[in-house]
A and B are shown apart, each in its own frame.
Chain A
């Protein structure tokens, strides 16, 4: 384990401790009406995650998220490579991508619902459009910024276009592409959950909305804790992989 990784873990430890102290402090301030203490949340979580009800909703969310992520990564990479390799095409389409990136996509969800109908496919589509754009934009930039000398070398060696992409462009652009996938991962997760919260009959987002309706504080705090914990942990793992890839290049 490198020194920087060890420092990252130490910092994460301090951060977790600080958040727990803050959480407990907030609980002392607010009380049971709207919050649960860290200890009772953990106890409730341990009990709840084994119930079949939770497992059904979790599977549903995971299914939507994995599908959305697959679509986002494959089409994001495809768009990024296509535009990154063709300068003029990227000049035309990049402003579109940036505009889509900056728009509050939640407003588009009703349109997706009308097109796909209420169900899994609308959720998947909504999650995927959150992820595609950052992955495409990062890939585009990474491919465009590959050092010209590398491309010249591959031309001198007489590599075909396919071989150039596989052996030269992809490896040298990988760190930045992975950074895009990291952001795409987070946004796809947010998109999928948001889709479930707004209109859905299944999934963790639906469970959360249902708990609000029933004022079930136990479930609200538990789901917030679980989702934040999962997202934070996945983020750290992806960050570590990203660092390793960057160090290798």
Chain B
């Protein structure tokens, strides 16, 4: 581990110890924040008892579903838009300002349209993640070396073969950047929607626990979500870096 990494680890440990002490001596009252060791214990008992497994499975399943749709539709749309110059120019202002739009404002409309099931939550997750994937796919396709495209033409590949064997693998690191955003956005979309209005899932359970001052349920769930999203993000980052390194780009 590098020196910076060691210091980082030390800081995290120091922060946890400080929190533990502050809660212990009552500077932070237990209704606001729990001691870190208690959060870890609560998480363990919660997972062992399995009483929230249904909520966890629902949220993670929906987020995973939204992620898969956002990435596959996003890459497909990126491939199509890349070929149509006029369409791309028209859509450019939309892409540039898309993330200024509060997508959650559409949630009520989606509930009216699709009902209060899983569908509007998945839809919000897809709406958030899709554009990030499209933008990054376009960015990656712009950077495909021309010599590769020429090689494809010389070998007489059809558009499908070119996409599968040349352009997509070449753009892969950039598509992975988009996928990283899609992970975060699908989780944000699904959990945010559950927070606002839903009948189940981790977001719902957190807000239910919050309303009942049930910190023994709330904190472990929050930690679980944070841990899952950071872990997935680190795995994709690692993959992205190793792809770039193999090409001598980083």
Residues of A174-209 at the interface with B, using a CB-CB cut-off of 8 Å, are: 183, 185-187, 189-190, 193-194, 197-198, 208-209
Say how far A72's CB is from chain B's closest CB, in angstroms: 14
Task: Report the bound CA distance from A109 to B194 in whole Å.
Answer: 13
Residues of B81-138 at the interface with A, using a CB-CB cut-off of 8 Å, are: 89-94, 96-97, 99-106, 108-109, 111-113
Knowing that A102-B229, A106-B192, A228-B102 are A-B contacts, what are 6 other residue pairs whose CB atoms are under 8 Å apart, sorted by A's residue number? Answer: A15-B94, A91-B2, A102-B233, A104-B191, A106-B191, A110-B210
- Which of B17-25, B71-79, B180-188 faces chain A? B180-188
Task: Report the bound CA distance from A223 to B108 in whole Å.
Answer: 11
Residues on the B chain within 8 Å of A108, using CB: 222
Say how far A96's CB is from chain B's closest CB, in angstroms: 7
Q: Does B203 contact A (CB under 8 A)?
A: yes
B 29-40 binary contact with A (CB < 8 Å = 1; else 0): 001110000000
Q: Does A211 contact B (CB under 8 A)?
A: yes
From A8, A33, A102, A236, B184 is in contact (CB under 8 Å) with A102
Query: What are the nearest 4 A-B pairs in CB distance?
Result: A235-B97, A34-B112, A235-B100, A186-B100
Known: A104-B187, A232-B101. A239 touches B93 (CB 8 A): yes
Q: Does B218 contact A (CB under 8 A)?
A: yes
Q: Does A157 contact B (CB under 8 A)?
A: no
Q: Are A15 and B222 in contact (CB under 8 A)?
A: no
Residues of A227-242 at the interface with B, using a CB-CB cut-off of 8 Å, are: 227-228, 231-232, 234-236, 239
From A92, A99, A208, A239, B105 is in contact (CB under 8 Å) with A208
Q: Are B203 and A106 in contact (CB under 8 A)?
A: yes
From A8, A34, A189, B113 is in contact (CB under 8 Å) with A34
Residues of B42-77 at the interface with A, using a CB-CB cut-off of 8 Å, are: none
Residues of A10-27 at the interface with B, using a CB-CB cut-off of 8 Å, are: 11-12, 14-15, 18
The residue in chain B whose Cβ has the minimal distance to the Cβ of A190 is: B102
Q: Does A107 contact B (CB under 8 A)?
A: yes
Say how far A204's CB is from chain B's closest CB, in angstroms: 9
Q: Does A115 contact B (CB under 8 A)?
A: yes
Q: Does A79 contact B (CB under 8 A)?
A: no
The residue in chain B whose Cβ has the minimal distance to the Cβ of A9 is: B93
Residues on the A chain within 8 Å of B157, using CB: none
Known: A102-B229, A231-B97, A239-B96. A115 touches B111 (CB 8 A): no
